[in-house]
A and B are shown apart, each in its own frame.
Chain A
Amino acid sequence: MSSREGRRIAVTGDTALAEGVAAGLRSLGARVVLLDAAYETEDDVRSAMEAARDALDGRIDQVVHGWVEPALLDPHVFAEVSEETWAVACEHTLEVAWWTARQASPALKESQGSLVFLVPTIGMAGGAHYAMLAAVAEGVRVLAKGCGRQWGSEGVTCNTVAVAPHHWTGPAAGAELTRNITLSTPAFGDEGDAAGDLAPLVALLGDDDAHFLTAATMVADGGTWMGL
């Protein structure tokens, strides 16, 4: 755990969500590296994590994982999904989350840091035509619980921030997915901004004040899905 000023954070993913969260964390005073990885093998993730650690002067306090295979961000009629697409999009994205947790582990155990997974709420609520993304989201969310259970005694926390599907699928598809899971509009009126609304929550999960919180799911969708 560390203060926000100067906290060293590695962020995976090259989506607008990941970049927005990274920008928001920087504005809070953190040093942030976006992982530069091919994400094809576990060695890719290991090398990228080591490079991020070097770039952050030998220490990583927080890892934020939001990488997904780009094909997951498009709608798919499930009955027409090819086996190759399933393998590349769904299974590989689960595999990369698994690798990221494993490769983040040494640095986070050294710093007694925190791992945060970003997922869309449709993992918990379901999403027509986004079944692969939802499967990944729920798998990753429960992976966080397994990590939280296993690493707590070593001072490492692992939590999930579940956000509106808009941040993954774009506004039109996000609005349609949201209409399917709620009878009302978001309590705060919209799905939020990655830098201004989501990054502070990610930062909070790395604060000393959050040291007793692990394996939890923080739903940060502006008050839309309230199934927990």
Chain B
Amino acid sequence: MATTDEDPGAQLDTRLLDGKTVLVTGAGGGVGMGIALACADHGAAVVLAVRRTETGDPVAAEIERRGGRALSIRCDVASSADVHAAVDAAVDTFGTLDVMVHNALAPVGPPTGIEDVPDEIFHAMLGTAMRASYLCATAAYPHLKANGGSLILLSSAAGIEGSPYIPAYGLVKAAQRGLAKSLAREWGPDGIRVNCIGPVAMTPAVEEVAKVSPVFTEGLLLNRTPLRRIGDPEADIGPVAVFLASDLSRYMTGQTLIVDGGGFLAF
């Protein structure tokens, strides 16, 4: 967790999400946690939907320590019952749901040729990226429609340029973008905005990669990053999610914001 001094979002006087409720999946660590903390710092009540409450409870405690409101709830994002229960808990506890952020993803596994990707890895990614995107979107829909809300899917630059190392990851992150663009068109008349974020941040998963393959993180990844550092989940990615969740982005929908220090520059 970034300290308040390091967090540019927390330095803003204006609290952009006062009165809003934000649900973040996979909020027990990494990018999800960073987004949850940033949203809470901007006044949102935050529901932390986590696979294990051991990871969500400390984040909720940190939010409350900072003076915010949070609820940690166990949620398998590929389970319809769990996702609907998390949405219901948000509404029951905080009275509304304004923003759904789907961030959770099963472990992507080691770099592998497409022919050798284990079925369980592929299907876990389909479940946590695709099934969960469907469940999060449809479960949140009536509340987002009622509130002029925002759906945010965590995608990746790999969902645009493909992945040379984990091809199934590129596939599901791209499919999420296709879904987001279409829901932006379909739900725009309902006042719902749908956008994606493609982050690169120092998450536990990237830390693991750094241990195994520093050549990748300190060499390949940093070499293509003009800002020459890997992002912080709260200080670098969180504010972008706050922007997409807030009324500042009220005329933006169907977009993917790549937040990676400039590593991937698309036309």
Contact = CB atoms under 8 A, between A and B. Distances in A.
B33 to A, nearest CB: 27
A144 B163 CA distance: 10
Contact of A81 (B134, B164, B167): B134
Contacts of A32: none
Contacts of B186: 77-78, 128-129, 131
Interface string B252-267: 0010000000000001
B162 A138 contact: no
Contact of B178 (A81, A91, A136, A150): A136
B138 A78 contact: yes
B178 A102 contact: no
B147 interface: no
Interface size class of B (residues with CB under 8 A): 35 or more
A105 B183 CA distance: 34
A118 to B, nearest CB: 15
A105 B174 contact: no
Contact of A145 (B126, B138, B170): B170
Contact of B171 (A78, A126, A127, A139): A139
A166 B174 CA distance: 22
A135 B170 contact: no
Interface string B229-241: 0000000000000
Interface residues of A, number: 46
Interface of B: 80, 113-115, 122, 126, 130-131, 134-135, 137-138, 141-142, 158-164, 167-168, 170-179, 181-187, 254, 267
The 10 tightest CB contacts between A and B, nearest first, are: A145-B162, A138-B178, A146-B167, A126-B181, A139-B175, A142-B174, A131-B182, A128-B186, A149-B164, A135-B179
Given A125-B181, A136-B175, A143-B167, 9 more contacts: A81-B138, A83-B135, A87-B131, A90-B130, A126-B181, A131-B183, A134-B182, A138-B179, A149-B164
23 contacts: A83-B135, A90-B130, A91-B130, A94-B126, A98-B122, A105-B115, A125-B181, A126-B181, A126-B184, A134-B179, A134-B182, A138-B174, A139-B171, A139-B178, A142-B160, A143-B171, A144-B162, A146-B163, A146-B167, A149-B164, A149-B167, A150-B114, A215-B162
